[in-house]
Amino acid sequence: MAIIKLGINSGAGKVLQVVQTVKTDTFTTNSQTPVDVTGLSVAITPSSTSSKILISVNVFIGGASNRYPYLLLLRGSTSIGLGSGASGSRINTFISTHLADTYKMHGISNQFLDSPATTSATTYKIQLTQPYESGHNAHINRQDQTTDAVYTQFPSSNITVTEIAG
pLDDT at 11 over 60: yes
pLDDT at 4 over 70: no
Q: What is the pLDDT of residue 13?
A: 86
Q: What is the pLDDT of residue 3?
A: 59
The overall average pLDDT reported for the chain is 92
Query: DSSP string covering the chain, please?
Result: -EEEEEE---STT-EEEEEEEEE-S-EEE--SS-EEEEEEEEEE--SSTT-EEEEEEEEEEEESTTB--EEEEEETTEEES------TT----SEE--B--TT-EEEEEEEEEE----SS-EEEEEEEE--SSTT--EEESS-S---SSTT-----EEEEEEEE--
- Give the CATH class of 2-83+102-147+156-164: mainly beta
Domain boundaries, the chain: 2-83+102-147+156-164
Pick the range with the lowest mean pLDDT from 10-14, 62-66, 87-91, 118-122.
10-14
Instruction: Report pTM.
Output: 0.90
Q: What is the pLDDT of residue 135?
A: 84
pLDDT in tens, 93-140: 999 999 888 889 999 999 999 999 999 999 999 999 998 888 889 999
